[in-house]
């Protein structure tokens, strides 16, 4: 049996939250339909943040009850506080995510809280969510480098992850929020995390600011991690982190891991259709590192068909 990779598709939330073009509810559902058709079974659908803070996701309350195929797709939502949790529960959310930045300055710039206050807010949300039977995921953001404080000590990341697990997290996601990590750092930190917590409850989230996202994903794989966030076409980035670029492209991750003998359950051809839909909706070109190669394969296949037709 091939080793299975679990991909959590984040384009509907992380991908859309800072786009200039605001998608309608029906447009978001069109995109999510295409993601489900491609075989993705874990999707971060939206965020129950203040509509004033992130107007692109102001329709979270209306979106969640209309999500397709909830019987086979695990939909999650980012929840910043207990008020957001109550909205999420009303909408029918069964899996929530909280985000804790590893540095004081990033928390202050992002959510106007100190590191200590942010830690407590995450604990409060997870405690309340646990009491309602929800699955709980905690992100440790800027886990390698903070745009304001620089390099982050690995010991701090492990300490914060430990605290999140101790307070109810079912999964902790180690996030390279601004795409500043390199494969050696990823391999070292993720190996330490796997040794301490086990691979089954860990995930990784990478950005492609310097073109290292796929290499960093491979480093995490070799450390034992099998759960990854990704976004079709590399859509997204952190609006509160200067210098952040798009996410690890889902199509890049699927191609690399499947060619290396892993199983994802994702159909690349259908995934590319989802990328095309996203391009139309956000009104700009998208695509991961493998886009040019995939387009070249399309051209070769078209030439083969044309030549085969010419023989008759």
DSSP 8-state symbol, 51: T
Annotated domain spans of the chain: 6-310
Question: Is the distance from CB of 64 to CB of 31 less than 8 angstroms?
Answer: no
Q: 176 pairs with which residues across the strands?
A: 206
Q: Which residues in the chain come in under a pLDDT of 50?
A: none
Which is it for the CA torsion 149, 152, 153, 158, positive or negative?
Answer: positive
Beta strands 6-9 and 171-176 are: unpaired
At the second CATH level, the architecture of 6-310 is Alpha-Beta Barrel (3.20)
Question: Is the distance from CB of 183 to CB of 212 less than 8 angstroms?
Answer: yes
Rounded Cα–Cα distance for residues 104 and 51 (Å): 24
Whole-structure pTM value = 0.94
Catalytic residues: 238
Question: Tens digits of per-residue pLDDT, 171-209?
Answer: 999 999 999 999 999 999 999 999 999 999 999 999 999
CB-based contacts of 136, cutoff 8 Å, min separation 6: 95, 96, 97, 98, 126, 129, 130, 168, 169, 170, 171
Instruction: Report the chain's mean pLDDT, rounded to a whole number.
Output: 94
């Amino acid at each position: 049996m091939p080793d299975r990779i679990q991909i959590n598709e984040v384009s509907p939330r992380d991908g859309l939250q800072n786009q200039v073009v605001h998608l309608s509810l029906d447009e978001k559902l069109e995109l999510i339909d295409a993601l489900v058709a491609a075989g993705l079974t874990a999707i971060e659908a939206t965020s129950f943040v203040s509509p004033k803070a992130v107007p692109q996701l102001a329709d979270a309350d209306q979106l969640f009850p209309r999500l397709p195929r909830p019987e086979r797709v695990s939909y999650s939502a980012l929840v910043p506080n207990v008020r957001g949790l109550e909205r999420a529960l009303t909408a029918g959310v069964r899996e929530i995510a909280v985000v804790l930045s590893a540095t004081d300055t990033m928390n202050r710039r992002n959510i106007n809280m100190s590191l200590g206050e942010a830690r407590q807010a995450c604990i409060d949300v997870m405690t309340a969510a646990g009491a309602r039977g929800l699955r709980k995921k905690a992100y440790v953001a800027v886990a390698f480098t903070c745009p304001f404080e620089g390099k982050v000590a690995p010991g701090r990341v492990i300490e914060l992850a430990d605290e999140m697990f101790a307070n109810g997290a079912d999964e902790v996601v180690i996030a390279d929020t601004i795409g500043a990590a390199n494969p050696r750092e990823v391999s070292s930190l993720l190996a330490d995390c796997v040794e301490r917590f086990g691979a089954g409850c860990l995930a990784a989230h990478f950005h492609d600011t310097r073109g290292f996202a796929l290499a960093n994903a491979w480093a995490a794989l070799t450390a034992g991690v099998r759960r990854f966030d990704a976004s079709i076409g590399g859509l997204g980035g952190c609006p509160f982190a200067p210098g952040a670029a798009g996410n690890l492209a889902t199509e890049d991750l699927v191609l690399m891991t499947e060619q290396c003998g892993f199983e994802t359950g994702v159909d690349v051809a259908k995934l590319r259709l989802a990328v095309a839909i996203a391009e139309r909706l956000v009104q700009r070109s998208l695509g991961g590192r493998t886009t040019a190669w995939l387009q070249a394969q399309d051209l070769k296949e078209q030439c083969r068909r044309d030549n085969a037709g010419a023989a008759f």
